């Protein structure tokens, strides 16, 4: 638990290991940790047969 002005500590109020979705946490398995770098590296791949709309938004002023 984290409170302002106090170092983080564990609370005995609720045992997270009893939660139904505990297996999805990184506390259960380190492979479940969210990797922000991997998330940001995701790139959209446009295939030659894909259709999409292209809009001309005009010029952008560089300030």
Q: How far apart are CA 7 and CA 49, in angstroms?
A: 55
Q: How large is the average pLDDT for residues 10-27?
A: 87
pTM: 0.42
What are the tens digits of pLDDT across the range 30-43? 999 998 888 888 78
Q: How large is the average pLDDT for residues 4-25?
A: 84
Which residue in this structure is represented by tokens 């922000």? 36
Closest alpha carbon to 29 in 21, 41, 37: 21
- Could you give the count of Cα atoms lying within 13 Å of 48 in the half-sphere of its Cβ? 0
Which residue in this structure is represented by tokens 């300030």? 63
Closest alpha carbon to 28 in 38, 39, 36, 20: 20
Q: How far apart are CA 63 and CA 60, in angstroms?
A: 9
């Amino acid at each position: 638990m984290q409170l302002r002005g106090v170092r983080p500590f564990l609370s005995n109020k609720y045992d997270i290991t009893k939660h139904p979705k505990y297996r999805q946490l990184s506390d259960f398995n380190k492979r479940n940790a969210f990797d922000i770098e991997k998330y940001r590296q995701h790139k959209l791949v446009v295939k030659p047969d894909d259709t999409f709309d292209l809009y001309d938004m005009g010029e952008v002023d560089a300030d």
